């Protein structure tokens, strides 16, 4: 087996973590940061060794310019635990430049962790890299060439992550929501769409994050089509808020999937139309219907609510009835999953964390800083998120429901197909006499 630099081995471990999710979700962020920090430091040290020797890792040695002499492992302490990294050794030339960089990173773990988070936020700028590798006097310990190489490598990794193949993701439940951000100075806020999935094995994964869009049908359709082009299959259920463009795009792009209206958004809309004195009573009645044991029971409780409040609260009842089937779509799924899949709270928590961080960072304009902050918030907020347990019995329920939805979809489209066939068939096909 040919020798490869330690940074390359670390890069492959990083790719494996992102594509295979080989650790528990609670440890994902910590492991991601540890590997990212290790990779950044190793790339920087290998770039310095290249400058010292005057040639790249695989280049031939000429004359007496010194040579590589293996690696020595050092460790830095961080909030994520001990992080080992490989320090290249050289002979016949001074190793002071390499030693200076290795010594410098020991006291810069906070900056390195921030840099690692931003690596998967939007890639790192030259300024980001230089800031970490400056000594106490403000002098950069890396050459401009070395900084550029590290920056470019990190950007390429982000690009791979952002365009990764999704065909291996067996998406069971898809959550989509948007947050309004000011992407252009002087312009109105625009939606940044985010999509998370719960997979067939219960993991939660970020699938897509797209800045600079509006929640129009065209933009939302492009958002979904991009994931489908990368191999994403039809989910069992898609959860969204009530944005009309988003709803239409879901129905167009995933016609055989259930569509769930986020009940947290829906309840806020309804209760805004109910007087304070009877709000708790109305909430209880509405929730009883939305969270009924079955779709049939939900319809019975719906009719009871309408009968009781229609004359007293016509606006609230109208809002309650609007898109009712989508509000109760989760009732067709396994009971143990319903609490998780009836809202977009997973994304709401992400957006709250992003808002908190953006306020601390000050005013941000432009796609790059906004997306960077959202990714950084996402990685940190996901530390405490857990997947769901899916039993063998629930897997059979899900398989049966998928088949049922496919049959329903075929049945809905059958009349149009038959009509088309009749219009294009010869006249004698419809005549017993053939005339």
User: Whole-angstrom Cα distance, residue 79 to residue 81?
Assistant: 6
C-alpha span between 122 and 158 (Å, rounded): 7
Q: 253 lies in a domain?
A: yes
DSSP code for 123: -
Does residue 394 sit within a domain? no
Domain-ending residue, one of 137, 162, 187: 162
Question: Are 27 and 75 part of one and the same domain?
Answer: yes
pLDDT by residue (tens digit) across 286-333? 999 999 999 999 999 999 999 999 999 999 999 999 999 999 999 999
428, part of any domain: no
410 inside domain: yes
Does one domain contain both 158 and 178? no
CB pairs under 8 A, 24+ apart, for 159-162? 159/123, 160/15, 161/18, 161/120
Q: Identify the CA nearest to 18 among candidates 225, 165, 201.
A: 165
> How sure is the predictor about 216, in pLDDT bands with cuts at 50, 70 and 90?
confident
> Per the domain annotation, does 133 fall within a domain?
yes
294, 336 in Cβ contact below 8 A?
no
Residue 363 and residue 285 share a domain: yes
Q: pLDDT band at residue 193, thresholds of 50, 70 and 90?
A: confident
Residues 331 and 380 in one domain: yes
**Does residue 379 sit in the same domain as residue 409?**
no
**In this predicted structure, what is the pLDDT of residue 339?**
92
Is residue 143 in some structural domain?
A: yes
pLDDT digits (tens, 9 = 90+) for 49-92: 888 887 776 666 666 577 877 888 888 777 667 788 888 888 87
Alpha helices in 187-332 (DSSP H): 217-229, 244-253, 263-271, 276-290, 295-309, 314-321, 324-327
How far apart (Å, rounded) are the C-alpha atoms in residues 361 and 363?
7
Residues 343, 380 share a domain:
yes
Task: Tell whether the model's pLDDT for residue 280 goes beyond 90.
Answer: yes
Q: In this structure, is residue 430 part of a structural domain?
A: no
Q: Is the pLDDT of residue 2 over 60?
A: no
Number of compact structural domains in the chain: 3
> Residue-wise over 301-321: b if at least 16 C-beta within 10 A, else e?
bbeebeeebeeebeebbebbe
For the question of whether the overall pTM of this predicted structure is more than 0.75, the answer is no
Residue 433 lies in a domain: no
What does the mean pLDDT of the chain come to? 76
The residue segments making up the domain with residue 197 are: 171-384
pLDDT, tens digit (0-9, with 9 covering 90-100), for 336-375: 999 999 998 766 655 555 555 444 444 444 555 555 555 5
pLDDT at position 185 over 70: no
Same domain, 22 and 121: yes
Tokens of 279: 């709000």
Same domain for 291 and 205? yes
- Look at 195 and 179; give whichever has higher pLDDT: 195
- Residues 262 and 222 occupy one common structural domain: yes
The percent of residues above 70 in pLDDT, for the chain, comes to 61
Domain check: are 230 and 347 in the same one?
A: yes
């Amino acid at each position: 087996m040919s020798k490869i630099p330690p940074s390359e081995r670390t890069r492959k471990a990083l790719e494996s973590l992102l594509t295979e999710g080989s650790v528990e979700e609670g440890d994902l962020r910590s492991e991601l940061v540890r590997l990212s920090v290790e990779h950044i430091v190793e790339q920087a040290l290998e770039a310095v060794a290249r400058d010292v020797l005057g040639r790249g890792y695989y280049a031939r040695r000429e004359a007496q310019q010194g040579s590589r002499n293996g690696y020595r492992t050092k460790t830095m302490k961080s909030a994520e635990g001990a992080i080992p990294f490989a320090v290249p050794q050289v002979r016949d030339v001074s190793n002071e430049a390499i030693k200076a960089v290795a010594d410098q990173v020991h006291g810069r773990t906070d900056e390195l962790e921030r840099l690692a988070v931003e690596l998967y936020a939007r890639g790192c700028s030259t300024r980001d890299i230089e800031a970490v590798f400056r000594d106490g006097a403000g002098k950069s310990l890396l050459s401009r060439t070395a900084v550029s190489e590290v920056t470019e490598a990190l950007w390429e990794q982000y690009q791979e992550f952002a365009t990764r193949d999704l065909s291996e993701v067996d998406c069971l439940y898809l959550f989509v929501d948007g947050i309004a951000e000011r992407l252009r100075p002087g312009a109105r806020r625009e939606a940044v769409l985010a999509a998370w999935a719960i997979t067939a094995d219960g993991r939660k994964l970020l699938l897509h994050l797209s800045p600079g869009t509006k929640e129009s049908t065209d933009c939302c359709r492009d958002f979904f089509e991009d994931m489908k082009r990368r191999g994403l299959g039809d989910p069992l259920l898609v959860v969204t808020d009530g944005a009309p463009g988003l709803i239409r795009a879901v129905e167009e792009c995933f016609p055989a999937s259930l569509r769930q209206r986020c009940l947290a958004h829906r309840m806020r809309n309804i209760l805004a139309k109910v007087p304070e004195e009877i709000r708790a009573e109305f909430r209880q009645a509405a929730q009883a219907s939305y969270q009924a044991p079955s779709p049939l029971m939900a319809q019975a409780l719906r009719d009871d609510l309408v009968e009781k409040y229609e004359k007293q609260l016509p606006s609230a009842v109208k809002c309650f009835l609007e898109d009712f089937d989508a509000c109760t779509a989760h009732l067709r799924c396994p009971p143990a999953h319903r609490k998780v899949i009836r809202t977009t709270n997973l994304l709401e928590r992400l957006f709250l964390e992003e808002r908190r961080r953006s306020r601390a960072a000050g005013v941000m304009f432009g796609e790059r800083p906004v997306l960077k902050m959202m990714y950084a918030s996402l990685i940190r907020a996901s530390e405490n998120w857990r997947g769901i347990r899916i039993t063998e019995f629930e897997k059979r329920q899900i398989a049966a429901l998928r088949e049922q939805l496919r049959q329903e979809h075929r049945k809905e489209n059958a009349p149009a197909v038959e009509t088309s066939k009749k219009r294009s068939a010869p006249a004698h096909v419809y005549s017993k006499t053939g005339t």
